[in-house]
Amino acid sequence: MVTSQPWTLRTLALCLSLILSSNLLGETVPVRHVEGVTLGFLVLRNSDGQIIANGELKQVVKDKDAGLVISDMQFRFKDGSIYDEITKFTQNGTFRLVSDQVVQKGPSFKQDSESWIDAASGKVTVRTVEKGKKKETTKHLDLPPDVCNGLLNTLLKNVDSNRETTVSMVAASTSPRVVKLNIFPEQAKSFSIGLIKHEAQHYRVKVKIEGVAGAIAPLIGKQPADIQVWIVKSEAPTFLEFEGQLSQDAPVWRMQLTAPQPDLTASDAESGKR
């Protein structure tokens, strides 16, 4: 009896450590709503509500048997800057990232950069240009199956809105690392389109940087801002709004759906004057 008690305590401590560590791990999100062909028009606003860029999201299904989907989100800024993110993923039971490529250039960003993430190999390449100096970093990371670069809005249409969800993301900087995204469901809000009423589920996403870097980040102003996302609740959930940083050093911007405006011909303009 005396010798078995320490073993029992050690076993209990081991079980507790496994439980606690499992809570820190991410989780792949099950496919509740299959993604398909999409073309959406977007607008990007600054903190003052002014439109700074127009964009679009194009999504196609390349291989139905493999469940391969390619998503391309791009913005063209009024100051000439560009942002383009191409994400490839599969949706066979759960969402799995295949690759993610991001290009950002122009005065709206602190530095021009391009990044590539290959989820299968774990290869992450980042190229930056700052004050005319070019730098390229290539690093191999052990990427977990729940890594979600370029997939956040898709995942939020499928997560359980009654509980917290944790997934992983690659912070594709000059020192690439894996961080956690803690997704918290917040109070839903109502909105209307004319006489039609809807409800949007609000999610708050907190970036958790683990280890020493995570402890230092808030002290040196490197802790990313929380992300806010609103998803229309329905049998066909739809992205409504995003508020957060498009990249690590970018300001907090608000992304929203918008409607295209027809180009007026000379005759249309003349008719409008009458």
pLDDT at 147 over 90: yes
At 248 the pLDDT is 81
Lowest mean pLDDT among 186-200, 218-232, 249-263: 218-232
Prediction pTM value: 0.83
The pLDDT assigned to 218 comes to: 47
Reported as a pLDDT band with limits 50, 70 and 90, residue 216 is very low
Q: For the chain, give the mean pLDDT.
A: 85
Position 141 in a domain: yes
pLDDT at 119: 97
pLDDT band at residue 133 using 50, 70 and 90 as cut-offs: confident
**In-domain check, residue 24:** no
Per-residue model confidence (pLDDT) at position 132: 81
pLDDT of 7 over the 80 cut: no
**Residue 14: inside a domain:** no
The answer to the question of residue 99 being in a domain is yes
The string over 13-26, giving b where at least 16 C-beta atoms fall within 10 Å of a residue's C-beta and e elsewhere, is: eeeeeeeeeeeeeb
Residue 21 lies in a domain: no
Number of domains, the chain: 1
Q: Is residue 8 part of a domain?
A: no
Give a yes or no: residue 213 inside a domain.
yes
**Is 109 in contact with 129 (CB distance < 8 Å)?**
no
Residue 170 located in a structural domain: yes
Full residue range of the structural domain in which residue 156 is found:
29-260
Task: Write down the pLDDT at residue 66.
Answer: 75
Residue 162 has pLDDT above 90, yes or no: yes
